[in-house]
Amino acid sequence: MNLTSQQIIELAQRTFRVESDALAVMADTIGEEFALAVKSILSATGKLIVTGMGKSGLVGRKIAATLSSTGTPSLFLHPAEACHGDLGMISKDDIVLALSFSGETDEVLNIVPFIRQNGNTMIAMTRNAESTLAKNADIHLLVAIKEEACPLNLAPTTSTTVQIAMGDALAVALMKLREFTAADFARFHPHGSLGRRLLMTVGDVMRKNNLPITTTDCPVIEMVHKVSKGGLCLIILMQDDKIEGLVTDGDIRRAMERLQADFFNIRAVDIATRHPKTILASAKLIEAEEQMIKHNIASLLVVDDEGLLQGVISLGDIRL
């Protein structure tokens, strides 16, 4: 079949509309069962065990991962493997979230008797409140849809979207109730960009060796040389261990344009920022980033509690 570019775009637009319509309906129909599910997970002393088969299983893995990274200990249990010994993963204090869009998935239903005998609270997520899984659950989360976005109305598309959205809604509600903060999130993502900025200090990454330091009367040719050689696009003016100012490569360029021939007669102090922005070495990287963004600058001088120069930090050092 040959389709025009416009027809291809229209297929994508229809997909977005079908799935967004389903989400809108779910937003309008969500009820007390959802609140009960959130409260039950919050009050549990054990883990949240998420299980599901096929596409629901893939969604379940995502839900478990999202919850674990936002303060709710969770893990995914493959229902087929569960019947071959992995049911031992479920302790009596755990809650089970079982996903089956139809509510009739054999592999999921096969582990329901164990869950009931073990005394676990079970939350079912299905499209049918009258399904076998829903009727055997303590709490039912309805994820009904009118149609799949798939043109054959067969491939899980809209159905997986609403399942993911329901899982995200659980995670968001639990985060709010647990008063989960950005710092908490960073602890679970220490190697991520956010974790790095929230956990590491300015002193951990600042440049402190071979800093481009000069005096206030530094002549222009020497200024240009030091800025180029220093690799920080700036020079620091010092006098008796006291910071007297800062000159950036931008300051030099603007001075060249403004002064033209007179440019070669100036000294560093003539174009310096006399009171440059500073930050303590003990500050978090995210504080340094916020200060640079606020003042529209690319670097900060790092000082100790007495205002003595310790190093330099740039946006590039933070956003590795």
Residue 192's pLDDT band (boundaries 50, 70, 90)? Answer: low
β-pairing, 121-126 vs 299-303, is unpaired
- pTM, 2 dp: 0.68
Calpha distance 142→136 (Å, rounded): 14
Same domain, 297 and 240: yes
> For residue 25, what pLDDT is reported?
96
Place of tokens 């002064």: 259
Calpha distance 98→50 (Å, rounded): 6
Calpha distance 140→76 (Å, rounded): 19
* pLDDT tens-digit series, residues 102-151: 999 999 999 999 999 999 999 999 999 999 999 999 999 999 999 999 99
* pLDDT tens-digit series, residues 213-225: 999 999 988 988 8
In this structure, the number of other CB atoms found within 10 A of the CB of residue 28 comes to: 7
β-pairing, 299-303 vs 309-314, is antiparallel
Same domain, 160 and 271: no
Poorest-confidence range of 50-59, 165-174, 266-275? 266-275
Is 191 within the bounds of a domain?
Answer: no
Highest-confidence range of 50-64, 221-235, 290-304, by mean pLDDT? 50-64
Rg (CA), the chain: 30
Residue 317's pLDDT band (boundaries 50, 70, 90)? Answer: confident
Domain boundary among 150, 180, 210: 180
> For residue 182, what pLDDT is reported?
72
Domain boundary among 180, 215, 240: 180
> For residue 261, what pLDDT is reported?
86
Same domain, 14 and 119: yes
> For residue 191, what pLDDT is reported?
60
> For residue 194, what pLDDT is reported?
64
Same domain, 149 and 231: no
With a cut of 90, say whether residue 236 has pLDDT above it: yes
With a cut of 90, say whether residue 199 has pLDDT above it: no
Place of tokens 């995914």: 76
Same domain, 81 and 125: yes
What totals of helices (H) and strands (E) does the chain contain, helices first?
16, 11
Same domain, 31 and 168: yes
> For residue 286, what pLDDT is reported?
86
With a cut of 70, say whether residue 174 has pLDDT above it: yes
| Count, residues in the chain | 320
> For residue 302, what pLDDT is reported?
95
Same domain, 241 and 175: no
Same domain, 125 and 219: no
Same domain, 12 and 147: yes
> For residue 224, what pLDDT is reported?
87
43-74-179 Cα angle (round to 5): 50
Same domain, 211 and 148: no
> 41, 48 in Cβ contact below 8 A?
yes
Same domain, 209 and 292: yes
Which CATH number belongs to the domain containing residue 18 in this structure?
Answer: 3.40.50.10490
Same domain, 64 and 108: yes
Calpha distance 289→83 (Å, rounded): 51
How does the average pLDDT of the chain come out, rounded?
92
Which CATH number belongs to the domain containing residue 244 in this structure?
Answer: 3.10.580.10
Q: Which two tokens stand for residue 222?
A: 């020497």
Domain boundary among 147, 180, 213: 180
> In the chain, how many domains are there?
2
Is 126 within the bounds of a domain?
Answer: yes
Q: Which amino acid is at 234?
A: L
> For residue 78, what pLDDT is reported?
96
* pLDDT tens-digit series, residues 20-49: 999 999 999 999 999 999 999 999 999 999
Domain membership of residue 74 as a residue range: 5-180
> For residue 195, what pLDDT is reported?
66
* pLDDT tens-digit series, residues 282-295: 998 889 989 999 99
